[in-house]
Amino acid sequence: MTNENPIVIEDREELIYMLSEAASLEHMIMCQYLFAAFSMKRDVNEGITSAQLEAIQRWERQVSLVATQEMLHLTLVNNLLSSIGSIPFFGRPNFPQHARYYPPGVQLALLPFGQDALQHFLFLERPEGMDLEDAPEFEVLAIPKPSLEIDTGQIVPQGQDFATVGHLYRGLEQGFRYLVGKYGEGQVFIGPPRAQATQKYFAWPQLIPVTDLASAVKAIEMIIEQGEGARGNWQEAHYGKFLQIAQEYRELKEQDARFEPARPVVAAYVRPPGDTSQFRLISNPLTAEISELFNASYQVLLQVLLRYFIHGTESDEELTILSNMAVDVMFQLIKPLGELLTRLPVGPDMPGKMAGPSFEMYRAGNILPHRYGAWTILHERLLELAMYAEKLLEQSGAPQELTSIGMNARQLAHALEQPLTTMAPNTH
Mean pLDDT (10-residue bins), the chain, 428 residues: 75 96 95 98 97 98 96 97 96 79 74 96 84 70 45 72 86 97 98 95 95 98 82 77 96 97 97 85 97 97 94 92 97 98 97 96 78 95 98 96 98 96 72
DSSP letter at 195 equals G
Domains located in the chain, CATH noted: 1-263 (1.20.1260.10), 283-428 (1.20.1260.10)
Asked if 242 and 111 touch (Cβ cutoff 8 Å), the reply is: no
| DSSP secondary structure of 279-325 | --B---HHHHHHHHHHHHHHHHHHHHHHHHHH--S--HHHHHHHHHH
pLDDT of residue 292: 97
| H or E segment to which residue 218 belongs | helix 213-227
DSSP letter at 11 equals S
pLDDT of residue 209: 97
Is the alpha carbon torsion for 249, 251, 252, 253 positive or negative? positive
pLDDT of residue 213: 98
Asked if 190 and 82 touch (Cβ cutoff 8 Å), the reply is: no
CA distance to 178, 232, 368, per residue, from 83 (Å): 16, 28, 20
